[in-house]
Structures are given as C-alpha cells and as structure tokens.
Chain A
Amino acid sequence: MRVLWLGTGFLALAALVWGGYEVSVPAVVLNLAVGLSFIGAGVEAADRRPDSFSGQLMIAVGLAWFVRLAGAIENDVAFFIGIAFKTFYLAVLGHLLVTYPTGRITSRWQRVVVSVAYLLTVPVNVGYVLVSPVDGPQNIVVIREVSSPRVPAVAVVVMISAIVLFCALSARMITRWLRSGSVARRDLGPVVWGAAAIGLTVVVTYLAALLGLPSAVQVALQWSTEVVLVGWPLALLYGLLRARLDQSAVGDLAVSLGAGLPDDLRSVLARTLHDPSLEIVYGEVASTTRGVTYLEAGGTRLAALVHDPALDPGFVRAVAASAALALQNELRAQRLVDAADDARRQVERDLHDGAQQRLVSVLLTLRLAENSPELLAAAREELARALDELRELARGIYPVLLTDAGLGPALLSLVERSAVPAVLVGVPEERLSPVAERTCYFVVAEALTNAAKHSRAREVRIEVRCVDGLVTVDVSDNGMGGASGLRGLEDRVAALGGRLTVRSPEGEGTTVLAEFNDPLRFSDSRR
C-alpha cells in the first residue's frame, strides 16, 4: 500500500515536472498534496477500519485525481486521458460522501446518485472530446487565466447537473446531521462540514464559470477548491479513527472500574460513550426506540444500558462488558458476605435444634432409666458440660439476639461476656438493615477479641452511631496499641462500600473505626 502511495505520487510528480509544460511550484505542490492526502488517509483508514470501504474509496479519489494529471503531459494520448478523467474524481468523491462511513451502497437513492455522478464524468467527457474540434494537446491541469472563457453547451449541462447534485447532497447531509442525536452528530461532523465546504467551492466555481465572471475570480476559486481538497481527507480519516480512539477508552474504563465501582457509574459510562442521555436500568427495560445493551455476566442480566441508537453497537458492548464485570465483582463480594452470614445462621440453628436437642433428649432418657446411679450421674455431668460448650460455640457463630432483638441487646451481650471490661456508650435507637447490624456486630466482636488478646487494655468503649444512613462503629481501648490483623473486618466493611480505619500508635491505645452507608435502612416494629 505504501508502494501505491509513493509510486503514484512519483508518477504524478514526473508528469507535472517533465510533462513538457511550464508548471509553477505551488501548483505542483498542491496537486501532489491533494492526491497524496486522499491516498494516504485512505490507506490508513483501510488499515484501521477494515470493516469500512471508505478507505478504499478515498484511495480511489486520490488515484482519480492523479489520473487527471495525465493532461499535464504534452502528448495526444495523455491529453485524451486527462480530458476523459478530468472530473472523474468528483464522481468518486460523491460516491464516498453518499456512502460514508460504511462505504457501502445500501439504498436505491444512493445507487441512483452515484450512477448519475459517474455518467456525468467519463462518458460525457469522452463524448465531448470525440464530437468537438480540439486544437491539439494543451495543459488542462494547471490553473491559469483563460482570456475568453467560452463555455460550450455540453459543459453547461454537466455543470448545472453537478451543481444540482452537490446542492442536493449537501442539503441531505446537513439535514441528516441536524436530525441526528448527539452521538451521530459527533460521528458525522467532520464529513458533513468538509463535504459542505467542498460542495460549496465546487458549486461556486462552476457558477462563476457559467456566469462568465472575470477570469481572475475563477482562478482564485479553483485554487480554493484544491486547498479544501487537501484538508478534507484528513478530517475524514479523523472521523473514522475516532471510533477507534473511543475503543481505546474502553481499556481506560476497565482499569478505572477495576479499582471499584464509582459512586456515579452512569456519568462515568456516559462520558466514555459520549452519550449524555445514557441511562442505566436495573430490572425490566420498558419498550423504547432507543438502543438497549445489556450488562451480562455468566448469562445473567445484571442491568441494561439505554443509549443513543446511533452508537456503534460493538463499542457499547465493549463498555457494557467492562461495567458488567465491575458490577459482578461488587455483587459477588456482597454475596460472599451474605452467604457467610447465612451459613452462620444455619450452623447456629443446626446446633441448637439438632445436636443440642438430641443431647438434651439423651440426658432425659438417662434420667428416666436409672439403673447404675454412679455411671448415670457421671454421664449426665459429661453431657451437661458438652451442652455448655455447644451453647457457647453456637453463640460465637451467630448471635441469636441480633435477629431476635437487634443490635443493642446483641452488643450488650457481647459486652457482658467480654474478657476486657467494656462499656457500650451508645447504639442507634432505630433498627438498621440486617446486613448493617451484622457488620456492626462483627466489627465490635472482632475488635473486642483483638483488644482482649493483645492490648492489655483496662477498658474498651464501644459506640455505634447512624446519621443520615451513615453508620460509624467506634471501638476504642486504653491499652498499649500496636494492633494489627483485622483483615477479615476490612473485607466485611469494604463489601458494604465502607472503610475500616485502625489507629493504634504504640502506647496510646487502639481505635477501630468502621464507616459505611447502610444499604437498605428499614424500621422494625418489634422494637
């Protein structure tokens, strides 16, 4: 492809410099620049967006532009080719415009417009050369002042047709742009305004020729057309590549979501997708004309993105996949904690209603069948001890008071059994959600155990507060500090989106502070 770019460029340069005519340096530079910018941008676009034919069409525009330069060679055949293909590039340009960004003809009106455009160029030009007298080869490439611009009738028809086509095309593209949502506007922007500029210069140039304006004006207009032609392919390339730049933003998104779900997931995704109208719907999505992309993980729908339908579906899917992964991780952490708590409850129930119940029954049976009083008494004693142990084990696994009576009584029970003197300074009057109460309880339980093990504290003060849904658990002791190893608690608090701070300077006691938002506050009439 690079060979195509360099080779055709060199041929064009050779034609302009050694073709036999006097060509100014700006004219050489500008002619080469137009062709090379189309071919170069086209090669790049074809490479980066293999799904679109626009790159190939851009290369075709560049090649058509270079073929036209055959007219710069002082030779009959070359002159004929130059005349035949003089306006061919405009037809390919129209083809590119009509089908941008896919490069494919998908509707009937596109087929008609593109066919008419091609018919108006090479066949008309060839016919014109064959029927009209031409006085030998002349330089038809380089813009120069012609003393008496005499416009033949055929040219008038062609020019008027071209003007109508370009006006229609520009009008259609601008209306398409105006009717689009913000996403489609952003995609179409470069091509619409670039095309409008080219269309305008072509139309104005042709109008000037038709109206027979002074040749100095026409020359200026022809130069401006060529200048616009150099810049436009770059705008087109940018438009095509921006989708790819957007795709790379998915990587950044994945990295940032990997660090944890942001508070406002919606605006983060809206920014990445460049769609301010984006909504995240949890649950059923009402029927809508907008685009819907599901956040799925392991075959389960977690949520749905409702977005501008003009967004590239592949791009939205990539963003949705990143968000789904992050959401799933969050849910999984929450589920882990819930599952562990459920397991604790189950174990507690099994021990009390199963093993313990059985032991009591055995005890009773032994009592009823007294044959060997001494043995039976020993057995009873043993069983009673086992019951004590079982009871304490069950208590440690899950505090029954937490569900039956709430956080206050459960914490008081902890305090009453604490190996370090402990004081419950305050507990919220109202009930918190079950998961919040469990979190508070286990933070206090772990912190108390930790204090009893390592701190040699004389007193531990416990306070739980809840202000506007923000729960803080503060467990402070007056021990020797230097506490460590509360990892399990960190996970537990982090699962609620909160954080655990342990301040334990050597010799100054330990403060364990957990802060989190109660996810589902509710009031319970039992209290």
Chain B
Amino acid sequence: MRVALADDAALFREGVARLLTDAGFEVVAKVGDAAELLARVHADPPDVVVVDIRMPPGFTTEGLDAAREIRTTYPAIGVLVLSAHVEPHYALQLLDADARGAGYLLKDRVADLAELSDAVRRVAAGGLVIDPGVVATLVGRRRVDDPLETLSEREREVLAVMAEGRSNQAICERLFLSPKTVEAYVRSVFTKLGLQQGPDDNRRVLAVLAYLRR
C-alpha cells in the first residue's frame, strides 16, 4: 500500500515514515508543506495521504485544506489528518454527507504502531476514523437533561467506539463482546437516542457524530 506523508517537522516525518515502512507500507512521498504534497499527489497518486493539519506558510489549517482538496479531486485516495488539537470542528470539516476514506487523528497516536497502521488501512479501505479524544469530548459534553444518561455504561462504550468509526467487528474485538451482543447494544443505543440506523458504517458514524454535536 502506497502512502504519501506531509509534515513540516523533519524528525517527526522521518519517524512516521520509518514506522509505516516497518509496518509494511510503501512511503512514496515525504514532504514539508501542502503545496508540495498536492504536486506529488498529482504527479503520482498514492493510496493514502497522511498529512499534518498545520504547516507552513501560515501554520493554520493548510494540511486540512489540502486533505479536503485531495478528497474532492481523488475520491479513491484515503486521507488521514494528523493534528495537535482535540477539536471536533476540524474533524467534522473533513467529513461530508457521503464521506468515505477520511480520518482525523491526534499526533500522539503515532506512537502506537498498531493504532496508526490500523487508521491508515481503514481510510485506505474507505472507512472513517475519528480520534478517541475527539469522541470523548463529544460524549463527555455536559447537557441539560442529558439523553446519554438513559444509556447504560456498556451502551455508552459502544456509542463511543462507533463514533470513532469502527465496524461492529472492531467493536467486538475492542470490547470483548460477541457479534450478537454488539448488534443488540447498537440497536438499543439507536432506539434510545431516536436515531435511524444508516445503510452503511460511514452513515452510522455521521449520524452519531451529528447527534453528539447538536
């Protein structure tokens, strides 16, 4: 699987490249800013782009803007945005109605090779990845007459893992539950919150995120 990598911090960039290489990915481009990333993607489209949200020259959202542009121009390329900010706003900017192959991950997660390579594989396969920290912010938000209080502890766990973009299979593995039990929990969460089950995993993620954000 071919990966293009963009981050202005050289040490971090090289480290991530090495980790990805160790994990069996082929790093085809290592660049320091958004303009060069776009040029390299145009020249030789990779399977996945891993991009830092904040890069020269403005150090604001150059990486996020580049990621959105790539998603529009090359829907087949998965984009994973690395960020230092636990801000749902940025994560949701990346996703639209029929979002696929996109992820928003905190930079810290790269230390866990399994988590990083899992996220890269998931966006490459068209899935959505939302950082657990961002989801925790959304789930942990204080609300008046909080509907999440009607959920059981287990149901809230399932909701959170769902919001991270995981499939039922992944939820089973994460929470050590059988597929049948997970399905039951998911159904129960949707019923209690009054949500419609989406036709696919991505729609489900979007519905949950939209609910948590409102």
B142 near A421 (CB under 8 angstroms)?
A: yes
Considering only residues 378-437 of chain A, those with a C-beta below 8 Å from chain B are 380, 383-384, 387-388, 391, 394-395, 400-401, 403-405, 409, 412-413, 415-423
Report A-chain residues with C-beta under 8 Å of the C-beta of B151: none
B12 near A403 (CB under 8 angstroms)?
A: no
Measured between C-beta atoms, what is the minimum distance from A460 to chain B in Å? 10
11 contacts between A and B (CB under 8 A): A352-B54, A360-B108, A364-B15, A367-B111, A384-B111, A394-B84, A401-B85, A404-B90, A405-B89, A413-B89, A421-B142
Report A-chain residues with C-beta under 8 Å of the C-beta of B60: 403-404
CA distance A419 to B142 in the complex (A): 7
CA distance A384 to B85 in the complex (A): 14
B19 near A367 (CB under 8 angstroms)?
A: yes
B84 near A356 (CB under 8 angstroms)?
A: yes
Chain B residue at minimum C-beta to C-beta distance from A351: B84
The verdict on B86 contacting chain A, using a C-beta distance below 8 Å, is: yes
A421 near B144 (CB under 8 angstroms)?
A: yes
B111 near A423 (CB under 8 angstroms)?
A: no
Of the candidates B12, B89, B90, which one forms a contact with A361 in the assembled complex, judged by CB atoms under 8 Å apart?
Answer: B12
B15 near A365 (CB under 8 angstroms)?
A: yes
Measured between C-beta atoms, what is the minimum distance from A447 to chain B in Å? 16
The verdict on B59 contacting chain A, using a C-beta distance below 8 Å, is: yes
CA distance A391 to B86 in the complex (A): 8
The verdict on B195 contacting chain A, using a C-beta distance below 8 Å, is: no
CA distance A417 to B137 in the complex (A): 7
Report A-chain residues with C-beta under 8 Å of the C-beta of B111: 360, 363-364, 366-367, 380, 383-384
Among the interface residues B84, B90, B141, B146, which one has the most CB atoms of the partner chain A within 10 A? B84
Of the candidates B11, B18, B84, which one forms a contact with A352 in the assembled complex, judged by CB atoms under 8 Å apart?
Answer: B84
How many residues of chain B get a CB closer than 8 Å to chain A's CBs?
Answer: 30
A384 near B108 (CB under 8 angstroms)?
A: yes
The verdict on A340 contacting chain B, using a C-beta distance below 8 Å, is: no
The verdict on B143 contacting chain A, using a C-beta distance below 8 Å, is: yes
Of the candidates B61, B84, B141, which one forms a contact with A404 in the assembled complex, judged by CB atoms under 8 Å apart?
Answer: B61
Chain B residue at minimum C-beta to C-beta distance from A387: B108
Report B-chain residues with C-beta under 8 Å of the C-beta of A301: none
Among the interface residues B18, B89, B110, B144, which one has the most CB atoms of the partner chain A within 10 A? B89
B87 near A401 (CB under 8 angstroms)?
A: yes
B142 near A400 (CB under 8 angstroms)?
A: no
The verdict on A353 contacting chain B, using a C-beta distance below 8 Å, is: yes
Measured between C-beta atoms, what is the minimum distance from A253 to chain B in Å? 46
A364 near B12 (CB under 8 angstroms)?
A: yes
Considering only residues 1-19 of chain B, those with a C-beta below 8 Å from chain A are 9, 11-12, 15-16, 18-19
Q: A366-B111, A384-B111, A412-B89 are in contact. List 16 more A-B contacts (CB 8 A).
A: A353-B9, A353-B59, A357-B9, A357-B12, A360-B107, A363-B108, A363-B111, A364-B16, A380-B111, A383-B111, A400-B85, A401-B89, A409-B87, A413-B87, A413-B88, A421-B144
The verdict on A48 contacting chain B, using a C-beta distance below 8 Å, is: no
A360 near B110 (CB under 8 angstroms)?
A: yes
The verdict on B138 contacting chain A, using a C-beta distance below 8 Å, is: yes
Considering only residues 79-101 of chain B, those with a C-beta below 8 Å from chain A are 84-90
Of the candidates A367, A380, A401, A416, which one forms a contact with B137 in the assembled complex, judged by CB atoms under 8 Å apart?
Answer: A416
The verdict on A368 contacting chain B, using a C-beta distance below 8 Å, is: yes
